[in-house]
Structure 1
Amino acid sequence: MSRRGELLRMLADGGEHSGEELAARLGVTRAAVWKQLQQLGEWGLELEALPRRGYRLAAPLDLLDRQAIRRALPELVAGRLRRLEVHEELASTNDQLLQSTDLPEGRFDACLAEFQSAGRGRRGRHWIAPFASGLCLSLNWNWRYPPAGLGALSLAVGVAVLAALRAQGIAGLALKWPNDILREGAKLGGILIDLRAEGAGPAYAVIGVGLNVALPGAARRAIAARGTTPADLAGGPGALPRRSALAAALLAGIVSTLVEFSARGFAAFADDWRAADALRDQPVRIEQGSGSVSGIARGIDPDGALLVDTGAGRERFISGEVSLRPAA
């Protein structure tokens, strides 16, 4: 753990801590503490300096606990886990797992980070998530003989994410094709799948989930400035789940989904996805490289492709080809 990470663990309770106390606990000078405190903004954290009293974070932090995540996994899922990594900072959890080349079939690695310096959303967009404000989680999976319909895997994972969140008491959830997780119509999170495959041979997938848990105001404003209305888990009724418990629930749900998807394909999840479809029968605009198409969303076909009634008739769109937005 870095010196900055040690300092954050002391400040995570949201209470006031004097410079003298922090310096003594770290075994450094007050000047060294001040230098580290000044760098917290790089992680998107808001620090309050209280004259003659000390320092405190604008809000407490619920830090991830690797052992708590492992203990919370169901036995059958834990038996498939090869390696669990929890990092203070990474460029990208997906990129970290993309480096793996030796994953046995039926096993998985999981990688989480408190902060991503180069987290990616769909179409290469930067994912905004200050330190410990959400979940940045990835896991990998390997198929010797990949199942048909891998293009719909992100939709099946969306069903798993909704089920895991609902089991934690989170309400108001929906899915937006192909990979957005919504809460009360605003964006709560997203799914990013990196797939490495060779014809009919083996396939290797890294499944990434980004989820807003408790976004600071500055992050909300930054996301809204890009044209997206953000949501988080802290904005609803009821107690906020611990991030480690939530991470374990997501891992368990996604792994179970991967096992079932391998055996039955997207058909096992299609009805649940349709029940959560946020845009069915709504006017939408589909943006492509060559222009845009407007129409009425009519759900998905058995392969997970989006169906839209346009002026030219009913058209079919494949995940990854388009950017989909509600019509103005």
Structure 2
Amino acid sequence: MSEIRSALIAALADGTVHSGADLAHRLSCSRTAIWKHLNVLKSVGLQIEAQRGIGYQLRQPLELLDEAVIRHGLDARTSAALNRLELHDDIESTSERLRELPAPAADHFDAVLAEYQANGRGRRGRQWLSPFGSGLCFSVNRWFEMVPAALPALSLAVGVGVCRVLRDHVTHSVGLKWPNDIVTDSGKLGGLLIDVQGEADGPIVIVIGIGLNFDVSAAMVEQVAQAGGLAPVGLRDFAEDSGLSRNLLAALLINELHTVLTEFERSGFDTFADEWRRYDWLADRPVTAQIGPRSVSGTARGITNDGALLIDSKGELQHLVSGEISLRPDCAG
């Protein structure tokens, strides 16, 4: 993103009205240029309102990512292990950026955050939708000398870590939808995606991408509905006050992910399995699983100790290690 557009966002972030003349003076450009830049910013999802003869303002104030605030929120162990912290206004993908970087040293990690991702990914190659500044889009990595035996369950362990933070600081209604969605009964708060690079017998580098909704617009709800996804909801809808900070939450999540990855490398999924079951959003609900061309319907019965989903289908317990899971339509409400 150009410097002038970044400066324009920073000027508008307070949510108050700014005249075109004032913005042009502050940014040393013409009012016509301001108008053109604002139209570009609308294309990344910023909700900018124009009042004829008065000026421009964001529909609501925007807390921009701030490296100093995030670093201040990191605990001592996480700060010592953090090799690199990058913040971007816009980027193709935070996970792709980490894949471009050299692997961190043992017991260290990198973190990349962005206000907007042009090509953020969800499961099965789907695009992750998140307008500029409306959520948390970030990725962390970690180097493992040996491939953990429980590697397929890593996404579940990471989900536990995310759930801990959100339950402690936002709402106790947060749950986990197998294998990697962060949900409430109102809809989807976010999700995570894990990529693995390296050799079959190690070493490997794990890249974990996480996306969480803070503010969800009507346009985003409609866009997700058209794509057939679970209705999105925002964390701010559940916050007891309007002071929920993206920067503080980012720091808390980075702290917890460092803890989770350290524990997972040492003990695998065993120490997370029971906690995951407590957060299981699908437990005892009628579901349908789509595995390629095959579908399985039944009742979700939790997970195995290695993270496979259990579905009771006509009295037979099915073990699933992948698939698209949805509540059956007659039970989704």
Instruction: Name the CA distance, whole Å, in 2 between partners of 1:289 and 1:24.
Output: 57
Equivalent pair of 1:214/1:234 in contact (CA under 8 Å): yes
Aligned to 2:32: 31
Instruction: Name the CA distance, whole Å, in 2 between partners of 1:116 and 1:151.
Output: 26
1:140 aligns with 2:141: yes
1:249 aligns with 2:252: yes
Aligned to 2:81: 80
Aligned to 1:311: 314
Cα offsets for 1:240-280 (capped at 9, x unmatched): 42100000011000110000011111001001100000111
- Once the 2 structures are TM-superposed, how far is the Cα of residue 216 of structure 1 from its aligned partner? 2.1
Equivalent pair of 2:170/2:238 in contact (CA under 8 Å): no
Equivalent pair of 2:103/2:205 in contact (CA under 8 Å): no
Question: Which residue of 233, 238, 241 maps to 1:239?
Answer: 241
1:269 aligns with 2:272: yes
1:299 aligns with 2:302: yes
- Once the 2 structures are TM-superposed, how far is the Cα of residue 311 of structure 1 from its aligned partner? 2.8
Letter in 1 for 2:108: R
Letter in 1 for 2:130: A
Instruction: Name the CA distance, whole Å, in 2 between partners of 1:11 and 1:102.
Output: 37
Letter in 1 for 2:255: A
Equivalent pair of 1:196/1:205 in contact (CA under 8 Å): yes
Question: Which structure 2 residues correspond to residues 36-115 of structure 1 after superposition, within 5 A?
Answer: 36-115=37-116
Instruction: Name the CA distance, whole Å, in 2 between partners of 1:85 and 1:101.
Output: 14
- Once the 2 structures are TM-superposed, how far is the Cα of residue 324 of structure 1 from its aligned partner? 0.7
Aligned to 1:217: 218
Question: Which sections of structure 1, spanning at least 5 residues, go unmatched?
Answer: none
Cα offsets for 1:44-89 (capped at 9, x unmatched): 1121111111111111111110111011100011000000000000
Equivalent pair of 1:44/1:219 in contact (CA under 8 Å): no
Aligned to 2:117: 116
Which aligned runs of 4 or more in structure 1 are off by greater than 6 angstroms?
Answer: none
TM-score (norm 2): 0.95
Instruction: Name the CA distance, whole Å, in 1 between partners of 2:224 and 2:293.
Output: 26
Instruction: Name the CA distance, whole Å, in 2 between partners of 1:220 and 1:59.
Output: 18
Instruction: Name the CA distance, whole Å, in 2 between partners of 1:237 and 1:43.
Output: 25
**Which range moves more in the overlay, 76-85 or 140-149?**
140-149
- Once the 2 structures are TM-superposed, how far is the Cα of residue 169 of structure 1 from its aligned partner? 3.3
- Once the 2 structures are TM-superposed, how far is the Cα of residue 224 of structure 1 from its aligned partner? 2.4
Letter in 2 for 1:259: T
Instruction: Name the CA distance, whole Å, in 1 between partners of 2:103 and 2:260.
Output: 22
How has the CA–CA distance of structure 1 residues 276 and 290 changed in structure 2, closer, same or farther, with 3 Å as cutoff?
same
SS in 1 for 2:131: coil
Instruction: Name the CA distance, whole Å, in 2 between partners of 1:171 and 1:303.
Output: 26
Cα offsets for 1:217-251 (capped at 9, x unmatched): 21122122223211111212512421000000110
SS in 1 for 2:253: helix
- Once the 2 structures are TM-superposed, how far is the Cα of residue 160 of structure 1 from its aligned partner? 0.3
Question: Which sections of structure 2, spanning at least 5 residues, go unmatched?
Answer: none
Instruction: Name the CA distance, whole Å, in 2 between partners of 1:139 and 1:200.
Output: 22
Cα offsets for 1:102-127 (capped at 9, x unmatched): 31111000000000000100111111
Equivalent pair of 1:277/1:299 in contact (CA under 8 Å): yes
How has the CA–CA distance of structure 1 residues 252 and 237 changed in structure 2, closer, same or farther, with 3 Å as cutoff?
closer
- Once the 2 structures are TM-superposed, how far is the Cα of residue 8 of structure 1 from its aligned partner? 0.6
Cα offsets for 1:149-188 (capped at 9, x unmatched): 1000000000000111122132311000000000234100
Instruction: Name the CA distance, whole Å, in 2 between partners of 1:217 and 1:2.
Output: 29
SS in 2 for 1:79: helix
Instruction: Name the CA distance, whole Å, in 2 between partners of 1:327 and 1:92.
Output: 33
Equivalent pair of 2:87/2:113 in contact (CA under 8 Å): yes
Alignment RMSD, CA only?
1.2
Equivalent pair of 2:103/2:142 in contact (CA under 8 Å): no
- Once the 2 structures are TM-superposed, how far is the Cα of residue 38 of structure 1 from its aligned partner? 1.2
Equivalent pair of 2:189/2:233 in contact (CA under 8 Å): yes
Would you say how many aligned residue pairs link Structure 1 and Structure 2?
A: 326
Letter in 2 for 1:20: A
Instruction: Name the CA distance, whole Å, in 2 between partners of 1:152 and 1:185.
Output: 26
Cα offsets for 1:282-320 (capped at 9, x unmatched): 1110112122111111100010000111137111111xx
Instruction: Name the CA distance, whole Å, in 2 between partners of 1:217 and 1:14.
Output: 19
Aligned to 1:326: 327
Letter in 1 for 2:282: L
SS in 2 for 1:199: coil
Aligned to 1:193: 194
1:151 aligns with 2:152: yes
Letter in 2 for 1:74: D
Instruction: Name the CA distance, whole Å, in 2 between partners of 1:237 and 1:144.
Output: 40
Equivalent pair of 2:286/2:299 in contact (CA under 8 Å): yes
How has the CA–CA distance of structure 1 residues 62 and 305 changed in structure 2, closer, same or farther, with 3 Å as cutoff?
same
- Once the 2 structures are TM-superposed, how far is the Cα of residue 200 of structure 1 from its aligned partner? 1.5
SS in 2 for 1:269: helix
1:284 aligns with 2:326: no
